[in-house]
Amino acid sequence: MSKYGTLVMGPAGAGKSTFCSSLIQHLQNNKRPCYYVNLDPAAEEFDFEPDLDIKDLVSLSDVMDEMSLGPNGGLIYCFEFLMDNLDFLTEPLEEVTDEYLIIIDMPGQIELYTHVPILPDLVRTLMRGSLNINLCAAYLLEATFIVDRPKFFSGTLSAMSAMLMLEMPHINILSKMDLVKGQVKHRELKRFIDPDPNLLDDDPTRKTKGEDKDELKEYEDPGLTSSVMSGSSFDRLNKAVAQLIDDFSMVSFLRLDVKDEDSLAAVLSYIDDAIQYHEAQEPKEPKDEAMEESMGLSG
Ligand SMILES: Nc1nc2c(ncn2[C@@H]2O[C@H](COP(=O)(O)OP(=O)(O)OP(=O)(O)O)[C@@H](O)[C@H]2O)c(=O)[nH]1
Ligand SMILES: [Mg+2]
């Protein structure tokens, strides 16, 4: 028997936990069962109590106190500890049946997705072997990034890096669409949905033309970073990143407004398609079961 789930990832504050809560509510509204797993050892508050919470195994604050580690080192330690105690995760998940959608809420530290091999190992454990979960990554990037185009491309690169590293079905989501509603024209938005590298050439917020290129933009961004985050080298780097993303042609985004049921339903249908959830449910339709019973096939 297969199991079905989604791994909700993305940078800090991207709206992962909010998306998980909204998805759970949406599933409940549609009478679909789900199993909520929190793998963020620093998460304190939940709209829905997790069915499985990494904090019952290890908590980031304890690790930071006892091991004298900072938040990022502490998080890596927590995940290494989880990998050494995988039964904590696998045993309860063994019991989850195929009509459930397993929703796994991940922490936001980007190191976890890019620098260390823990996540690929974890994904292999979940997707292969006895658990055999059909898992889809849902990578969130917040829509407000589109105001700062270099930031948008760097976020998109992190999404692509996770896609390449994890080698699993993957959807990218622009979260918090409510925050940019009315501010970005539809045609302009489409250039972010399928990232267009030319966005950097016609960025209205950056002075990139003529001799002023290397000038500091102190009037816009006073502070130490302004000399690094402007100038021709920074522009060239951003263009190279955007070109790389375009060359791979792998990243496009779905739009998510958690307050809009239709938006949630659309994202869920992409997840369902990626993990082939409905294919597994078809034989379980009540009329099929009744027919099986009447034909003496059940049990
Ligand atoms: N306007 C708006 N705010 C949102 C939305 N989703 C999340 N937020 C806010 O963004 C902040 C971060 O949301 P979380 O859901 O905790 O984000 P997260 O990705 O789980 O954060 P970490 O787990 O800390 O990495 C909170 O203040 C949320 O209220 C959204 O769709 N719209
Ligand atoms: Mg969270």
What is residue 210's predicted lDDT score, i.e. its pLDDT? Answer: 46
Which two tokens mark 1? 């028997």
> What integer is the mean pLDDT of 182-201?
87
Q: Whose CA is nearest to atom 9 of ligand 1?
A: 15
Q: How many angstroms separate the CA atoms of 209 and 220, rounded? A: 17
Average pLDDT across the chain, whole number: 87
The answer to whether 168 touches 275, Cβ cutoff 8 Å, is no
Least confident of 18-32, 246-260, 281-295: 281-295
Cα 11 to middle of ligand 2, angstroms: 10
What is residue 223's predicted lDDT score, i.e. its pLDDT? Answer: 44
Selected from 3.90.100.10, 3.40.50.300, 3.30.565.10, 3.30.9.10, the CATH number assigned to the domain covering 3-195+251-294 reads 3.40.50.300
What is residue 185's predicted lDDT score, i.e. its pLDDT? Answer: 85
Q: How many angstroms separate the CA atoms of 88 and 38, rounded? A: 12
For residue 291, the tally of other CB atoms under 10 A from its CB is 12
Which bound ligand lies closest to the C-alpha atom of 13?
Answer: 1
- Give the residue from 124, 101, 122, 79 showing the smallest Cα distance to 20: 101
What is residue 207's predicted lDDT score, i.e. its pLDDT? Answer: 54
Q: Whose CA is nearest to atom 13 of ligand 1?
A: 15
- The domain segmentation of the chain, as residue ranges, is 3-195+251-294, 204-249
Cα 13 to middle of ligand 1, angstroms: 5
- Report the share of the chain in percent with pLDDT over 70: 86
Binding site membership of 109 for ligand 1 (Cβ less than 6 Å): no
Model ipTM over 0.95: yes
Interval 65-95: pLDDT, tens? 999 999 999 999 999 999 999 999 999 999 9
What is residue 222's predicted lDDT score, i.e. its pLDDT? Answer: 45
Binding site membership of 255 for ligand 1 (Cβ less than 6 Å): no
Work out the pLDDT band at 15, boundaries 50, 70, 90.
very high
The answer to whether 23 touches 103, Cβ cutoff 8 Å, is yes
Q: Determine the residue of 8, 16, 18 to mutate for testing ligand 1's pocket, defined as the one with the most ligand atoms within 8 A of the Cβ atom.
A: 18
What is residue 286's predicted lDDT score, i.e. its pLDDT? Answer: 60
Task: Provide the whole-model pTM.
Answer: 0.87
> What integer is the mean pLDDT of 267-285?
87
Cα–chain-centroid distance for residue 236? 28
What is residue 213's predicted lDDT score, i.e. its pLDDT? Answer: 45
Q: Whose CA is nearest to atom 30 of ligand 1?
A: 176
Which two tokens mark 163? 């896609």
